[in-house]
Structures are given as C-alpha cells and as structure tokens.
Amino acid sequence: MKFIKQLFAILALLCATQVLAEPQPGKDYKVLNPPQPTAAGGKIEVLEFFFYGCSHCFKLHPLLSAWEKKMPNDVELTYVPAIFNPSWEPMARTLYALEALGQQKQLHDELFNAWNTKIQDLTDEAKITNFVAQRGVDGKKFGEAYNSFSMQSKVVRAKQMGQSYGIRGTPTLVVDGKYLITGLHPPETIEVLNALIDKARKERGGKR
C-alpha cells in the first residue's frame, strides 16, 4: 500500500511538472491578434525574422539549424530578413539573391560567422559580392539578382511583414501566423516552438 501511495505521489508530481512546463501566453509567447495569413499551403508555417549581424540570432542559429534538419514533415520553415533600418537592407537583398541562385543554404552559416565571429564588414554590395564570389557564387549573376526589379518587391514585402507581425526585435519566430516567440534563451525557444507546433497541429485537427 505504501508503495502504491508513493507511486501516485510521483505521478502527481510528474503531472504537475508537465502543467508548469506548458508554455504560457504573455510569458513564453504572444498570441497575434489578428492572426496573419500563411503561405505554406497545408503545412504549419514557421517564420524566423532575423538579421545576420544579430548576436542573439547567432546564438539561436545552431539550435534552429539542428531543429530544421529534424522538423516534422508537416512543418515549413521560412527565413524573413528583419529590416529595422536602411543599413540592414543589404543583408535582406543578399538572402533573397542567394535564394534566387539556389545557394542561400550553403552560405547561411558563413554569413552568420562573418558578422559575429570574424567581424567582417558586409554593409554594401561590393563587399558582399566579393564575399560570396570567394565562396563559389557567380559575382555577375549575384549582382543581377541583388539589383533585380523583383528584389525590391521582396524587400518591401519583408518590411511589410515585420510591421504586420509587430516585430520589435530579433530573433522572432512566428508559428502558423498565430503565435510569436521572442526574448527567450535558445533552448527555451526551441522547446516553446515545438509546443506551439503541436498546439497548431491540434487546432487544425491534423496529424504529422
């Protein structure tokens, strides 16, 4: 009988711990009102608003990259460059130009390291072009993509998204157009991200 009572006590403690660990709106994440439309089709959309020169983004990056490699099949991760001032726009153009050339993933780590470890100056087109060219990107094609007409539309769209989602700092994650995560330590960010994906999945009534 004593063993059974101890077992129930342990189970009760575990349940209490799980309840306490449940992410809380207003503390661990923010509920967006109104929700924003998503562009991931039938998948659960995860957006990361970030800047390569942001030290907090740099600290989250290894964990988010590891998470991305194992993320559920019903989830799609999209990187959105934050543009809080004109000096951040060149990196937004860089992201989209590399995406257009199919080489963003190859240089994602390199750009983070350049800003945060090597402290390289990547603030204008010439320096950025030289940087990517040294890493196998065709400089001419990069320049064409960087300055293309469609590029301006993407930059404007990124700025509009930042305003629509109420982005005030980086990194900020948005889950399914409803839930915003920011200001947490990297491990906590991933934990809350997983919990909110599960929440979004249940709300959709779907399965992986």
* Strands of 30-31's sheet in order across: 30-31, 179-182, 172-175, 44-50, 75-81
Q: Which of 99, 124, 102, 120 is nearest to 111 (CA)?
A: 120
Third-level CATH fold of 28-204: Glutaredoxin (3.40.30)
Q: pLDDT by residue for the chain (208 residues), tens digit each?
A: 544 544 444 444 344 334 446 899 999 999 999 999 999 788 999 999 999 999 999 999 999 999 999 999 999 999 999 999 999 999 999 999 999 999 999 999 999 999 999 999 999 999 999 999 999 999 999 999 999 999 999 999 999 999 999 999 999 999 999 999 999 999 999 999 999 999 999 998 865 5
How buried is residue 98: exposed, middle or buried, by Cβ count under 10 Å (0-12/13-18/19+)?
buried
Q: What's the alpha-carbon Rg for the chain, to the nearest Å?
A: 20
